[in-house]
Amino acid sequence: MSESTTHWNDVGIDYDKVLNTDESNVKLLAAAVGLLPPDTKDLLDIGAGTGRLTSLVRKALPDATILGVDPAPTMVEAAEIKFADDPKVSFAGGLVEDLSFIPDNSFDAVISSFALHHLELDTYKQAAAELFRVLRPGGRFVNADQFCRVMGPAGSPERAKDVLDLLTAKAKHYLEHASFERMLLQIDLLPRFMREDGEILTTPEFWTEKLLSAGFASAHIVETPPAELYNRVIWAVKPS
C-alpha cells in the first residue's frame, strides 16, 4: 500500500469534489455503511483518505468513536481539517498491513472503500491478519472496492485484456453518468493499473480466501450495480 502513498498525496482534497459527481460511487458507499452493525461503538476506517466515507459512517452511527487511517499525509491533513470540531473522530498515518500501533480487539467494525486495491499481492495475507487482530470477537469487516475477473502477471495478455475492458467501460460510464473530471481520473490511472503500479485489481474471491484463511468465520461478496463497473462489497465476521 505504501507504493501509492506519494501518488494519492498529490491528489489531495480535490478527490472529494471529483468522486461526489459519481452516483454509482455514492450508492456503493451507502451499501457498505448499511452493512455495519447498528450497535457499533468503535470503528476503524482503513484508507480513510479525506474522510469522505467517514462522513457517511458518522451520519449512520452518530455515537460511535471513529479512527481513520491513511498512508498519504495530505489526505490525513484534509480529513483532520474536515472533522476538527468532532472530538470522537481522529485520523492517523498508517498501513493496513501494519497496524501495530493499534492494540488487539480494539474495534467493533472496520470499513474501507476504494483503498485496498492499492495493496501489493504479497501483503494481502498480512493485511487480513491485521484486520482480524484489531477486530473484537464478533466484529465485522466491510470493504467496498473495484475488482477484476482475471488475475495473472502484469504482462499476461488475458489479464491485460480484462483490465483494459473494465477500465474502458468505467471511463465511458463516468463520462456519461458522472463528470468529465471523473472520466479523466480513470484514464489517468490506466497505465498504473496495467503495470500494477500501486493500482492492483484482484478478483473478489482472492480477498475472501485471504479473509477466511486469517480466521474470519464467514466472508460474503455483494454485487452492486451498474454491472459494467464490477464493484463489489465484501464483508466478513470474526468469530464470537
Consecutive 10-residue runs of the chain (240 residues): their mean pLDDT? 48 63 89 97 96 96 98 93 97 97 98 95 96 98 96 90 94 93 89 90 97 97 94 97
What is the per-residue pLDDT for 126?
Answer: 97
The pLDDT, as a whole number, for residue 15 is 64
- pLDDT (0 to 100) of residue 101: 97
pLDDT at residue number 22: 84
Single out the residue of 58, 45, 109 nearest to residue 86, CA to CA: 58
Q: What is the pLDDT of residue 1?
A: 53
Contact 50, 79 (CB under 8 A): yes
Torsion sign, CA atoms 42, 50, 118, 1: negative
Domain ranges of the chain: 2-146+197-237
Give pTM, 2 decimals. Answer: 0.93
| C-alpha closest to that of 37 among 12, 64, 11 | 64
* b/e map 54-67, b = 16+ CB within 10 Å: bbbbbeebeebebb
User: Do 176 and 168 meet the contact criterion of CB atoms below 8 Å apart?
Assistant: no
Given 3.40.50.300, 3.60.21.10, 3.40.50.150, 3.40.50.2000, which CATH number is that of 2-146+197-237? Answer: 3.40.50.150
Q: What is the pLDDT of residue 4?
A: 45
Residue-level pLDDT at 6: 43
Q: Are 216 and 238 in contact (CB under 8 A)?
A: yes
With a CB cutoff of 8 Å and minimum separation 6, the contacts of 81 are none
Q: Are 76 and 70 in contact (CB under 8 A)?
A: yes
